[in-house]
Amino acid sequence: MSNLADLSAVELVAAYKAKSLSPVEVTEAVITRIEAYEPKLNALWAYDPDAARAAARARKRAGRRVSLPVPSMACR
């Protein structure tokens, strides 16, 4: 599979429904992408990867799959 941060919303929804991906995996991929590019872009005014990880873990524990990528939770 390609980098999870490169998947479209449609691909993510299909993977969540198939239970082949979890919100935690996608969140980690997005955080890795943000950390690679943010120093150059300087586009985020608030960034809380720990909150994003906690939200992804909570969704996984609750058995709920998100229908869209979690990156918006990394940026508050």
Which structure tokens are listed for 3? 């980098």
* pLDDT at residue 71, rounded to an integer: 52
Say what the pTM is: 0.73
Confidence check: pLDDT of 24 > 60: yes
**Residues 26-44: tens digit of each pLDDT:** 999 999 999 999 889 888 8
Question: In the prediction, which pLDDT does 16 show?
Answer: 84
Task: List Cβ neighbours of 47 (8 Å cut-off, separation of 6 or more).
Answer: 34, 38, 74, 75, 76
Give the pLDDT score at 55. Answer: 92
| Sign for the pseudo-dihedral over CA of 45, 51, 55, 57 | positive
Which pLDDT score is estimated for 48?
A: 93
